Amino acid sequence: MTSVSSLDTAKVIADSLEITGKADSGWIMHHVLDGKEIELPFLGYIHIPQFPTLFGIDLTPTKHVIFMWLAAILVFLIAITVSRQYRASLIPKRVSNLFEIFIIFVRDEIAVPTLGKNYYKFLPFLLTLFFFILFGNFLGLIPYSATFTSNIAVTATLAIISFIMIQLGGIRQNGFFGYFKGLVPHGIPVVLLPLMILVEILGLFTKPFALAIRLFANMIAGHIVILALIGLIFFMGTIFVAPVSIAFAVFIYLLEILVALIQAYIFTMLSSLFIGMAVHQEH
């Protein structure tokens, strides 16, 4: 998604409307949705080179895919840098000192309370998930970038990965038949057993669905609000609403910084909680 920095967004909107005073709501979706072109400062829109097709599938990356690659590279580089600095010295320095705060937070405030003594088995997954979403959220706040966590396909894929980890964690701890048997509470009357089995099966799939929709909706909503506030200047055709529109847009933009942190935390925390529920069925 195009960045929502107020000044840059205002310029983009002005260019999109060609300063005609005629506004179309389509430009909001153009800046929110995925596409095969990237906007660069002073250069305008750059089309992504066409990739060959494989079995009829177009392999050309979109702007969200490119920024996903960038986020993955950043996570990898940060992990390598932090691990090397810890090997060199047990006292954290520079980058390690900063990211140690997040690592300890995920370990002590998310993994340990929800997973118990076996938290270390799932900690690498939770840390990767947290930092990937965090970088994705913050990349979208940089001018001329894109927020891939506002793409339902991305959040759904992340939720599916969490779903797989939930099932693997439960099966590994309780056995295949033991895990699925433990989904149904003990002491249920036989006549209600078919209904409870159906409810529990549906419950397995509502968890990743909630994860996907929560992240997607929260990330896309704030950006649409900011674009709509900036667009009021052009919709109403007067500059007198600019101070109010810009002020509210900046406020929402600053709020988005907090939302970027909170959503990375919530997605990771709920994933860890669901894994803990699958692993510790007796509780």
Q: For the segment 92-107, what is each residue's pLDDT rounded down to a tens digit?
A: 677 788 888 899 999 9
Within a domain: residue 1?
no
> Residue 166 pLDDT more than 50?
yes
Domain count of the fold of the chain = 1
Looking at residue 131, its pLDDT comes to 96
Q: From residue 60, how far is each of 36, 66, 156, 281 by CA, in Å?
A: 8, 10, 20, 44
> Residue 5 pLDDT more than 50?
no
Q: From residue 224, how far is each of 26, 150, 217, 232, 234 by CA, in Å?
A: 12, 11, 11, 12, 15
How far apart are alpha carbons 5 and 193 in whole angstroms?
54
Percent of the chain with pLDDT over 90: 38
Looking at residue 283, its pLDDT comes to 52
Looking at residue 30, its pLDDT comes to 67
Please tell me the pTM assigned to this model.
0.84
Confidence of residue 111 (pLDDT cuts 50, 70, 90): very high
How far apart are alpha carbons 268 and 280 in whole angstroms?
18
> Residue 21 pLDDT more than 70?
no
Residue 45 bridge partners (DSSP) = 39
Q: From residue 44, how far is each of 5, 30, 75, 92, 281 by CA, in Å?
A: 16, 14, 29, 42, 55
Within a domain: residue 160?
yes
Within a domain: residue 192?
yes
Within a domain: residue 20?
yes
How far apart are alpha carbons 166 and 273 in whole angstroms?
9
120 DSSP 8-state letter: G
Within a domain: residue 94?
yes
Within a domain: residue 73?
yes
Within a domain: residue 70?
yes
Within a domain: residue 10?
yes
> Residue 184 pLDDT more than 70?
yes
In which residue are the tokens 């390690």 written? 96
> Residue 12 pLDDT more than 50?
no
> Whole domain around residue 229: which residue ranges?
6-279
Among 7-16, 148-157, 247-256, where is mean pLDDT lowest? 7-16
